[in-house]
Every structure is written in C-alpha cells, then in structure tokens.
Amino acid sequence: MGHERVGFLPKTKKWNAIVSGIVDFSDNSEAISQIAAETTKNVRSRFKVISSDEGVISAFKYLIVLSFATKQENSISFLNDKGISLSKNFDFFDLGISAKKYLEKHLQAKEYSTIASQSLMDTISDWFQKNESKQTTLFVTPENPLENWKKASTGEGFCELSRSFFANFTKRYLEYFLEREAAWALKNVDERRHFKKKLESLISEVSVHAFETAKITESFSAGWFKKNAQDKIPSDKKIQGFVDYSFHKINSELLREENS
C-alpha cells in the first residue's frame, strides 16, 4: 500500500465520553459503557465484510472516475463513456442524480448500498463546500463544473477525498448503531426520547470523532494513488483492495480506542 506506520490517533473527545455526554441523564455507567462498546462492535463487524459489497466499491469508484475526468480533454464525454451521465453545465443536483443512477446499477446489500450512497453524497457536498471557487456555490456552477474537482486528481487531493468518504461512512454507521443500541439499553421511553434529542444536538461530536478516526487512511492513500490511480483508473479489484484495507485500518483504530 505504500503506507507508513501510524500510532494511536489522538481524538478531540474519546468515544466513551461522547456517549456519556449524550446519556448524561443516566447514572448508569454500565449502560453507557455497554452502548459505547456495542456500537463500535457492530460497526467493526460491518467493516470486516463491507468491502465485498459492489455498491460500496462503486461509490468510491465514482469519486475516482469523477476526479480522473478532470485530466481529460473532453471530461463530459469521458464520464458518459464510464457510465456517469452529466450535461456540460451540470450542477450539484445533477451530480447527485448521476451518482444515484450510477449506484443503482451496482446495488447489492440494501443496507450497505444505502449507507454508501449517503456517504457518497456527503463527500461530494463536503468537497464542494471546501473547494468551491469564487464563481460558484453548491447550486451555481462556473463555466467548467469540474473545476472544483481538479485538486482531487492529485495525491494530496485524493488523500482528502478518501478521508472524507471513509469519515462520512463511519459517522453514519456510528449514528445508526448508537441509536439502535440505546433503544436496547434504555428501557424507559422518556430516556430514549431524551437520548435521541441529545444525540441530534451532539451529532457534530460524532462527526468529528469519525473524521479523526479516518485520518488513518491518509498514511497510505497518497502512495496507493501514485502507484494505481495517477495515470489511469484502477481496476475494480484494486479499488476493492484499497477500500478493504481502509476499512481494516479504521476497524483496528476503533478496536484500539475501545480497549484503551
């Protein structure tokens, strides 16, 4: 993978502390620990096998193809040939529609594909907002709508894009299982209602935690890009290998924090 070893990643706030903050109405520390541990356990169980899902691989491939298109003389024609239908003056909404149609051709497990689709749109939105030019916003595009994606076709940009995708994926699964485990651990209806309300107010902390966890992917992303994606679109097998390794490293990071 061309990566360097990375030690335990520092976190702005530990996972147990985030869960404790959400369940601050309860003195039951055992329940809090159970919710925190079971949430990461379930996320890790998904990440062990998720890279075999065609929908997940296709979501990440969409980002690679979109980025690679910026190097082509006729980007729109290139994208259409690759199964991504966009008009010359596409906007953010058009991009969302094209991503959805692209993934519909590769649906496999509904749960994985749903999370993959949501994470893909989260990543596209994050990239637009972070890299928008002076002439454009999410809803108004410049003469060249792919201008915002040129940076993603470099090693540095690919690192950012990868981290964003895997962070969004991790965040959505943490939220999903956190709420589900709370429903099991908190028997009182009022406690569940309070938990859900508090979770909504602290969702940014879950997002930050996921983003910090996904930093582990940056240690090998640039090397993989230089070897496999700088001058060509990698094969599906190579993309799957990268996605699998990324989830494996995030999985290990979640486990290390859980056991710390």
Residues 193-248: tens digit of each pLDDT: 777 777 777 788 899 999 999 999 988 999 999 999 999 999 999 999 999 999 99
Q: Helix 155-185 crosses helix 29-47 at what angle (to 10 degrees)?
A: 130
Q: Which pLDDT belongs to residue 96?
A: 86
4, pLDDT greater than 50? no
Q: Which pLDDT belongs to residue 216?
A: 92
Asked if residue 102 is part of any domain, the answer here is yes
Asked if residue 62 is part of any domain, the answer here is yes
When divided into structural domains, the chain yields a total of: 1
Asked if residue 7 is part of any domain, the answer here is no
Half-sphere exposure of 109 (CA within 13 A, CB side): 12
Give the list of residues 6+ apart from residue 96 with CB closer than 8 angstroms, or none.
121, 124
Each as own residue / partner, the long-range contacts of residues 26-32 (CB below 8 Å, 24 or more positions apart, any chain) are: 26/186, 26/191, 31/185, 31/186
Asked if residue 39 is part of any domain, the answer here is yes
Is 64 in contact with 229 (CB distance < 8 Å)? yes
Residues 127-163: tens digit of each pLDDT: 988 877 544 444 444 556 788 788 899 999 999 999 9
256, pLDDT greater than 90? no
Which is higher by pLDDT, 110 or 78?
Answer: 78
Look at 5-14, 115-124, 171-180, 237-246 and tell me which has the smallest mean pLDDT.
5-14
Identify the burial level of 38 via C-beta atoms within 10 angstroms of its C-beta, where 0-12 means exposed, 13-18 middle and 19 or more buried. middle
Q: Which pLDDT belongs to residue 9?
A: 59
Domain span including residue 67: 15-259
Asked if residue 105 is part of any domain, the answer here is yes
Give the pLDDT band (50/70/90) at residue 15: confident
Mean residue pLDDT of the chain comes to: 84
Which is higher by pLDDT, 85 or 11?
Answer: 85
